[in-house]
Amino acid sequence: MKVVSFFQLKEVRWAIAPQDLDAIRAELPGVEIVSVENEADLPAALADAEVFVGWTFPATSFAGAKRLRWIHTANAGVEANLFPEMVASDVLLTNATGMHSVSIPEHVLGTMLALARNFHEAARIQARASWDRFGVIAYAGGIKELDGSNLAILGAGPIGATLARLGSALGMNVRVLRRRPDRPVPGAEAVVGPEQKLALLAWADFVVLATPLTAETDNMIDRAALAAMRPSSYLINVARGEVIDDDALVDALRRGAIAGAGLDTFREEPLPPSSPYWTLPSCIVTPHVSGYTPEYFERTLELFRDNLRRYVQGERLRNVVDKRLGYVAE
């Protein structure tokens, strides 16, 4: 059985270390694992491969990968791997669901605190070497407290579920939107369905987007959604950039229709220098780092090795994606 490993995602490249490749070969002697580092070599390597592990399987190579039976993506979001030929096939898709259930919620907490305490304005004042206490206190309607504020989480996967628990522990009132509202979320005082989205947004002081990118969530934060939010509320996105209508959000931030935003993911990445997000004073931009942890690659390899053992032994794999839904169904 041949496994092809290829990790390249935009400006990020990684390869499984030689000692780890040797360890996999020693543990599973029937497995031939090939690490490809040059994209030009990928089609030939995939021609007789049964398994692919990486971030994104190249759609252009799918037709030529006649023996392919399983794709494992090290991403939680799988939309790039759900091209029509893949969805229609019997090739299994697994992902990294759960691997970011610490780093991303902590990133969200940090962003919420930065926005609530006006750290982004304090940093600008510091750059001017100005002792402007009132400038920090009064910015964007004043400093706020998380304790007692309303947190709306859109998405109830491992990231949303962890954030609900952490938000509740900080004294926040937490409500969660999920596709199946009959399933409770620990820490949330209420769980609502998509039809209650606007009412949820109107209630919230902080709105966190933690949904997968699907046909239902594409542009889910549009002009109507932003109009439902309070002028004192904040929007934080750790999902995918496509869940937001950028023109609508830029307009809302410029008009002060919402107090601010914390954005870690974008429709176009790297975010181009011409993007207005860079210069909007009420917007905190981070370069898609919420999922990073010092143990990222170690955990990526650990999950794949466990699934590879299961695959070889004919056992059920972890994190099997429902290709119709676009995420791991509970």
Q: Residue 232 is which amino acid?
A: S
Q: Is 107 a catalytic residue?
A: no
Q: Is 310 a catalytic residue?
A: no
Catalytic member of 69, 124, 269, 305: 269
Pair of tokens at residue 192: 């609502």
Q: How many CB atoms lie within 10 A of CB 116?
A: 20
Rounded to an integer, what distance in angstroms lies between the CA atom of residue 248 and that of residue 226? Answer: 8
Task: Fill in the DSSP letter of residue 229.
Answer: S
Grouping H, G, I as helix, E, B as strand and the rest as coil, residue 323 is coil
Q: Is 305 a catalytic residue?
A: no
Catalytic member of 178, 240, 242, 299: 240
Grouping H, G, I as helix, E, B as strand and the rest as coil, residue 104 is helix
Q: Residue 15's closest CA among 288, 297, 256, 320?
A: 297
The residue length of the chain stands at 330
Instruction: Report the chain's terminal Cα–Cα distance, integer Å.
Output: 30
Give me Rg for the CA atoms of the chain. Answer: 22
- The alpha carbon of 219 is separated from its chain's Cα centroid by a whole number of angstroms, namely 15
Phi and psi at 221, nearest 5°, equal: -100, 90
Task: Fill in the DSSP letter of residue 139.
Answer: G
Rounded to an integer, what distance in angstroms lies between the CA atom of residue 95 and that of residue 253? Answer: 34
Decide if 206 contacts 236 (C-beta within 8 A): yes
Q: Mind telling me the catalytic residues?
A: 240, 269, 288
